[in-house]
Structures are given as structure tokens and as C-alpha cells.
Amino acid sequence: MNAIISGIGHFVPPKIVTNKDLEKKINTTDEWILQRSGIRERRFAEPGVGASDLGYEAALRAIEDASIKKTDIDFIIAATLSPDHYFPGIGILIQAKLGIPEIGALDIRNQCSGFIYGLSVADQYIKSGTYKKILLVAAEVQSSNLDYSDDGRDMAVLFGDGGGAIILESGRQNDGRGLLSTHLFSDGRFHQELWMEKPSPNDKPTFSEEMLQSKKYFPRMNGRNVFKNATEKMPQAVRTGLKHNGLTIDDVDHLIPHQANDRISLLVARNLGIPVEKVVRNIDRYGNTTAASIPIALDEALKSKRIKKNDIVVLTAFGSGFTWGSAVIRW
Ligand code: UT7
């Protein structure tokens, strides 16, 4: 029996920040952002709101959607690159907010690929019978650590805040539906291509005036190389997933790529030969919400009734690490 997504939800903070709003703080233009990324606006959390808060709200919606009680959940997996605290992770914070103590809560550190990595881990636990109902949450508050100077403007215009969550459990019928497979990849040789360098082992003590002055606690990337790799690796991961399941490109009903840049999503689809109508794209409204982007897009596609029973849905992500992967689902 395959694992199934029995509930899904998402939550984004109410504050909308348009490209025009960013023009007031950053040396940028609405035209540049729209042309280079397809982004029109994103959501920013208010001060005091962390990834665990957005994750908690998304989790409540997924629990309601699955028609289960909070106490039915027997394990939590949480993916983020922007935790509320350096440690502990957000999994236990979401657990505390939900009021379901003592079950295990695991944090995943795989950046933009975090949701697919989390899905893969959850799938193994469900298949082995270790846990019955897993809450997988992906949430980010990135707006508090963006560099609005010229050094960081390439990244500052791309990222947004949000959370998505699912409940994964064992399917009730052996009907071929559910999560068919996940495929994970990484190449740590490229970790400096997209990273938040500091604090690092060179900083002793970890936090110092010198470290703060270096501004290396802001995320930095080699945008062109990340772009190039994203457009190559996501198609590879999708092809691996389809082949594994004896499926072809024509079998794909919906491709949900991590929403990093609309140009990347369109190039991934073109590389694969998947028509643009089959690609789920919402980056224009949320920017890049890193680990949360896939569950948010999946939830929107489901709630708008775009995805039908038995449709083949393929998820793929690429990001910092580099890490990348895919998941194939028969809905
Ligand atoms: O989630 C996974 C991680 N992230 C990604 O996948 C993002 C991957 N990379 C990208 O999406 C693109 O590389 C960017 C959107 C970041 C940049 O687009 P690009 O077409 O690769 O632009 P570029 O790096 O070639 O920069 C073009 C110019 C540069 O000026 P010069 O050197 O040509 O004079 C930049 O300084 O655009 C300038 N620039 C900006 N201009 C206005 C960089 N950021 C901005 C900005 N506003 N915000």
C-alpha cells in the first residue's frame, strides 16, 4: 500500500510586499524583478512571527483537511532553512504549539529541497509501519535576513515567507494511488554557490562585532550557476522518477517545480517536453518560499480542483547544497 497525502494546508502572512514596495528600499525596479523572475509580490511576516508560527498555522489546516485529531499524529517532520532559533529546530516548536507532547519531531535541513527530502523520510516510516500519521511541515521566514544593499539585491527581491503542511498516512486500498516514489540527490561540492556563510567555524566566539561587520550572515548566491544547475538537475530528477515507475513524459498531468524563478520552471518544463499548461506556477504571488513552495503550490492546485483522482503529479526541487530531488504521486 502506498502512502497517501490525506490532508494538506498552507498559510502565508497577510502582509503583501509588491515589487513597487521593494523599489523604495532596494536599488531595483519592478520591471527587472518581473522579467528576471516572474515575481510580482511576496508575503513578509511581521516581527515576532517565526517559521514555527507559519508552520503551525499550515499544520492546523492540514489536520482539518485530513479530518483527524491533533492527537492522531504520531510523528512530526519539519523542513526549514530559516528556523526561529539557531537551535532547537522548529519541529519541536510546532509540536508544542499543537499541544501534542512526547511524539518524535525531526528537523530537515535541505533548503529548497526540504519538502521532498521530508516526504521521502516520511514515506519510509509509513511504508515500514513505524508511524501511522505523519505531519510534514515546511515553513520559512526569510524576510528578516535579506540584504537590501546592492550586494544582496539579487536575492532580496526573490524570497518570501510562508508555510505548507501535509498529513501522510498509509493508503486504505491497494489501488495504485498515492506516493509512488521519491528520488533524492545532492552534491556538497557546490555548497558555497548558495549559502549563508556565517557564523562559521572560523568565528570564535561565534558572534562578534567583526563577524557582524562582514555581512556574511546574509544569504549569498552565484545566481547564474544556480540557475544553470536548477534547469539541468530538476529535469534529470523527474526523468529518474518517471523511469522508476515505468511512466513517460506524456503520463505527467501536473508538474509542480519548486518555485525558485518562473524562468527556471518554464525551462524545466521545456527541457522535459511538458506543456506549460501542466506546470503549476504561483511564484508571481509568493516569490521563492524555499521549502514551503511545493506544498503551497500543491495545496492551491488541489483546492482549485485542478488535480483530479488518478492524475500523475510530479514534484521536483533544487536548491542550496546543492540538493535536488523528485517525487511521483498518483493522486
Ligand atoms: O531556490 C533556489 C535558489 N535560487 C534560484 O534558483 C535563483 C537562481 N538564479 C536566478 O534566478 C537568477 O540568476 C537571478 C534572478 C538571481 C538573476 O538573473 P540573471 O538573469 O541571472 O541576472 P544576472 O545575474 O546576470 O545579473 C544581471 C544584472 C547585473 O548587472 P550587470 O553586472 O549586468 O551590470 C546585476 O548586478 O542585474 C543586476 N541585478 C539587479 N538589477 C536590478 C542583480 N540584482 C538586481 C536587482 N535589481 N534586484
- Which of the four pLDDT bands, split at 50, 70 and 90, describes residue 186? very high
CB 280 within 8 A of CB 255: yes
Q: Where in the chain is the domain with CATH 3.40.47.10?
A: 3-170, 178-330
Question: Which three cell numbers, joined as nine digits, stand for 139?
Answer: 515553513
Tell me the average pLDDT across 82-86.
97
Question: Is residue 174 among the annotated active site residues?
Answer: no
CATH of domain 3-170: 3.40.47.10
Residue of 2, 258, 261, 282 with catalytic role: 258
Degrees, nearest 5: CA angle 126-132-137: 80
Q: What is the pLDDT of residues 193-213, one digit of tens each?
A: 999 999 999 999 999 999 999
CB 165 within 8 A of CB 10: yes
| Beta strands, E only, the chain | 3-11, 16-18, 41-43, 75-79, 104-108, 133-140, 162-170, 178-186, 194-195, 220-221, 254-257, 312-319, 323-330
Tell me the average pLDDT across 307-322.
98
Tell me the average pLDDT across 111-136.
98
The closest of 295, 291, 223, 316 to 82, measured between CA atoms, is 291
- Which of the four pLDDT bands, split at 50, 70 and 90, describes residue 70? very high
Tell me the average pLDDT across 276-282.
98
CATH of domain 178-330: 3.40.47.10
**For residue 199, cis peptide bond before it (omega within 30 degrees of 0):** yes
pLDDT value at 42 more than 90: yes
- Separation in Å, CA 153 to CA 7, 28, 229, 243: 37, 7, 21, 39
The Cα–Cα gap between 191 and 200 comes to 13
Q: What is the pLDDT of residues 232-278, one digit of tens each?
A: 999 999 999 999 999 999 999 999 999 999 999 999 999 999 999 99
Give the single-character DSSP code of 129.
Answer: T
Cβ neighbours of residue 201 under 8 Å, at least 6 residues apart?
none
For a mutational test of ligand 1's pocket, the pick from 23, 28, 154, i.e. the residue with the most ligand atoms closer than 8 A to its C-beta, is 154
Tell me the average pLDDT across 285-305.
98
Residue of 10, 110, 112, 183 with catalytic role: 112
The pLDDT of residue 172 = 87
